[in-house]
């Protein structure tokens, strides 16, 4: 019986503190910063998707050009295979160039969430972590 009463009192205490929290109103400055970061996020996200789709289309074109050069015999078949391989490599480079855009979009999304909450975020990427180390000095 004592255990049931203790558990009941714990539930009452937990629900009491959970329902007594109040939400803070969002200030216009925080909302403006949120909108700015979301706009930057959307721009970077769109640029990333454009690079990915463009790279995939260029890769498909390179593969088709290489296959057409390898299947159809002719005087320029070796040239078509080499050109197809080059186009395929360019498509891979274009597709991989989308990674920084997606990373930046994720960072702007996180900054937008923090701005909406009114929390502080860093603009520079300086590390605030301290690392233990050992110093060695040698005298000559």
* Closest listed residue to residue 46, CA positions, set 95, 112, 98: 98
Q: What's residue 77's pLDDT?
A: 64
* Closest listed residue to residue 42, CA positions, set 102, 129, 131: 102
Q: What is the pTM of this model?
A: 0.64
Residue 136 has pLDDT above 90, yes or no: no
Q: What's residue 94's pLDDT?
A: 94
Q: pLDDT tens digit string along 59-115?
A: 999 999 888 877 777 666 666 778 888 999 999 999 999 999 999 999 999 988 888
Q: pLDDT tens digit string along 17-53?
A: 555 555 666 677 788 888 999 999 999 999 999 999 9
Query: What is the average per-residue pLDDT within 127-134?
Result: 58
Domain boundaries, the chain: 45-117
How many CB atoms sit inside 10 A of residue 105's CB?
20
């Amino acid at each position: 019986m004592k255990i049931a009463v203790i558990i009941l009192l714990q539930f009452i205490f937990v629900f009491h503190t959970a329902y007594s929290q109040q939400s803070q109103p969002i200030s216009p400055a925080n909302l403006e910063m949120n909108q700015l970061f979301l706009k930057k996020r959307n721009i970077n996200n769109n640029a990333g998707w454009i690079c990915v789709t463009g790279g995939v289309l260029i890769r498909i074109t390179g593969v088709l050009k290489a296959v057409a050069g390898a299947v159809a015999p002719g005087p320029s078949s070796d040239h078509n295979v080499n050109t197809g391989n080059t186009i395929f490599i360019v498509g891979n480079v274009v597709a991989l160039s989308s990674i920084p855009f997606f990373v930046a979009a994720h960072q702007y999304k996180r900054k937008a969430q923090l701005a909406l909450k009114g929390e502080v975020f860093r603009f520079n990427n300086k590390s605030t972590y301290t690392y233990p180390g050992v110093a060695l000095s040698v005298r000559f």
